[in-house]
Structure 1
């Protein structure tokens, strides 16, 4: 999926930030919280639902994983919207 591939491309981010994002994905996978397939399935579902109401470019989707506290992590999908349908 496009956002998954974006983890391995440098889009003007510092290498430390890129490494941190990759590590978060690997930790989620190791902890059994989300597999690569789970994340890809989420992206597919989001695209399908949002496409009913908005014009979006799936190739521009990005995501970020942030540690909220010791117990929780948050996943944010950034989906640029071109226009309303």
Structure 2
């Protein structure tokens, strides 16, 4: 199963390299695009759940790395939920 990383920039300018066990991330995000925080978290939740489910279908257990990545994104994103203008930019994909 091809894994990938994707680099994001939080609303405060901090960059983070994120992990996905599947290329599904490319179906939910585009390089250079910025997403409102709630939309970003929703897309992340959907994409990383699908990615984890794909691992489970292939290996018989969900991907703990994908679940942990989602938990980190949700925790970091929670800091910006009160800011209606907060956007997260998908900087690039690393295959």
TM-score (norm 1): 0.35
Which of structures 1 and 2 has the larger relative contact order (alpha carbons within 8 angstroms, sep 6+)?
2
TM-score (norm 2): 0.32
